[in-house]
Amino acid sequence: MSQSQDPRADAVQDLRSKVTAYRISQAIHLMVSLGIADELEHGPGSLEQIADSCGADHVSLNRVLRALVTAGLVTADRGLFALTPAADPLRSQAPDSIANWVSTVSREQFTAWGGLEHAVRTGEVAFERVHGISFWDHLDRDREAARLYDLGMAESAREACAHLLRSRDLDMLKVVCDLGGGHGATLAALLNEAPHLRGVLLDVPKVIDGAAGYLARAGVADRCDLVSGSFLDDVPSGADAYLLCRVLGDWDDRSAQRVLENCRSAMAPGARLWILGGLSGTESSAPGLLDLHLMVLTGGGERTEEQTTELVERAGLRVAEVVHDDHGRVSLVEAVAP
């Protein structure tokens, strides 16, 4: 019996591939961090051209490029390397770019997984074990890490924002408040979709400092108020709808409950709260790995629809509707203040 016909051997090889998946993830990170994807966006290039442009050792880079060819992200033909369509989103200027997201998940977040066993044995947060500081304090101290995280989360939130725009009618709203919305990418998309709408953006001071420029470039700065603060402390009042986009899963139940209670305190009767993100247990969701990542990073985690509903109702809000996208990757939980 040949190896290809041996189910046991195939299963072992599949297991090996899963164990060593970090190797290709770090090679992909190099495509972004060295600028390889951007260097090849206008067409094929030679090893020497790519290495000189990216500031890399020719011999070492050649080995990386060979691995990327095997992974189907680069082609090699007569001494020239080119991007495949699968690698196009790694370009920083691609319409669906995930370059910043790759950067933010492949640095400190990647190394934090080295503390997974400690986290499982003790219940402590792996990131804090590995780096000696909480993830949020790290972002507060490291401006570059914070910049990449905000840009990466904006890329990650595009799918969630599209689901919100498909699912909700903005015509009857006057003010939307985005809580923990970074530089305002999602809020800008809502304001551009509904020119009558005003926005409020709440985030910590260092993040808000960079939001004005982003919103100005998006053409919505004159319709958006910027508020420095934390939703763990207070939430601005007066909005018709409040948005938590890929935020609640970053926090443990106690902190998430506090956020929801602060939202309830700010909401007038009839105001809405939109909780956007993945729900574990949806039909098409891939359970487990994102939940583990949130546990490693912050001590948060994915929640089921039932768990989310319980938190929302405990905060004094009523769940009005839950809408899943076609792929099961994004869900919208709409809660209403009674």
Q: What is the pLDDT of residues 190-227, one digit of tens each?
A: 999 999 999 999 999 989 998 999 999 999 999 999 99
Three-state secondary structure of the chain: CCHHHCHHHHHHHHHHHHHCHHHHHHHHHHHHHCCHHHHCCCCCEEHHHHHHHHCCCHHHHHHHHHHHHHCCCEEEECCEEEECHHHHHHCCCCCCCCHHHHHHHCCHHHHHHHHHHHHHHHCCCHHHHHHCCCHHHHHHHCHHHHHHHHHHHHHHCHHHHHHHHHHCCCCCCCEEEEECCCCCHHHHHHHHHCCCCEEEEEECHHHHCCHHHHHHHCCCHHHEEEEECCCCCCCCCCCCEEEEECCHHHCCHHHHHHHHHHHHHHCCCCCEEEEEECCCCCCCCCCCHHHHHHHHHCCCCCCCHHHHHHHHHHCCCEEEEEEECCCCCCEEEEEECC
pLDDT of amino acid 289: 86
Q: Residue 326's pLDDT is what?
A: 82
Amino acid at 63: R
| Parts of the chain with a pLDDT under 70 | 1-4, 281-287
Q: Can you read off the two tokens belonging to residue 216? A: 């100005």
Token reading at 304: 């089921």
Q: What is the pLDDT of residue 222?
A: 97
pLDDT for the residue 284: 45
Q: What is the pLDDT of residue 279?
A: 86
Structural domains of the chain sorted by starting position, each given as residue range(s) with its CATH number in brackets:
3-91 (1.10.10.10), 104-151 (no CATH), 157-336 (3.40.50.150)
In the chain, the N- to C-terminal Cα span, in Å, equals: 68
And the tokens for 6? 């041996």
Contact 295, 301 (CB under 8 A): yes
pLDDT of the residue at 231: 97
**Predicted local distance difference test score (pLDDT) of residue 184:** 95
Residue 315 contacts residue 261 (beta carbons within 8 Å): yes
Report whether 255 contacts 299 (CB < 8 A): no
pLDDT value of residue 285? 46
